[in-house]
Amino acid sequence: MFIKKIVIDAAIILILTIIWVVLNERYDQSVIISGVFFATVSLFAARYLFEDSDRVKSYYIPLWFLLLYFVYMTYHITKGALRVAFDLLKGKKEARVVTIYSKLTNPWYISIVANSITLTPGTVTLDKTGKKMEVLCLNPVSEKEEELYNQIARKFERMLRIVD
């Protein structure tokens, strides 16, 4: 188990170092050394900051799911942008802060949903506390909590249940 963790950490440091070198557009000794340094500091800082304080068993998400979620988010961002544009052209511009409650149990996935809501045009997550999210919503569909949940968060939570 210990060897496996070392191998995983080494792989993460290698990947982050490669990204560092690519972003610096140079391949020399100073860039590689600074890349390894910052990758190591980033890895251990992330481990320290995110250690079991929120009872998340793992932050692992399979690569195939990340690609699928990227396509899914691209679709919903485009759809949201078109909806907001058409609503504004029609003169609809009612904004309201609504409260929705997540049906997921994993705090990591709830955070992903909150960020996905913010990325989607017409909605911004203002606050997330546990399962409760305060969302600024442009032209909400209803006053009912369940309908607001369906409009804002259900689509993202349904996707995340695939890997939960």
pLDDT score at 55: 61
Residue 135 lies in a domain: yes
Average pLDDT for the chain = 88
Q: The tokens 């955070």 sit on which residue?
A: 111
Residue 54 pLDDT greater than 60, yes or no: no
- Grade residue 57 by pLDDT with cuts at 50, 70 and 90: low
Alpha carbon 49 to chain centroid distance?
17
**Strand pairing report for 123-129 and 95-101:** unpaired
Q: Are residues 67 and 146 in the same domain?
A: yes
More confident residue, 12 or 141: 12
Q: How many CB atoms lie within 10 A of CB 30?
A: 9
- Each residue's pLDDT tens digit, 112-140: 999 999 999 999 999 999 899 999 999 88
- Closest listed residue to residue 80, CA positions, set 123, 110, 126: 123
Q: Are residues 84 and 35 in the same domain?
A: no
Q: What is the mean pLDDT of residues 23-32?
A: 91
Q: Are residues 22 and 69 in the same domain?
A: no
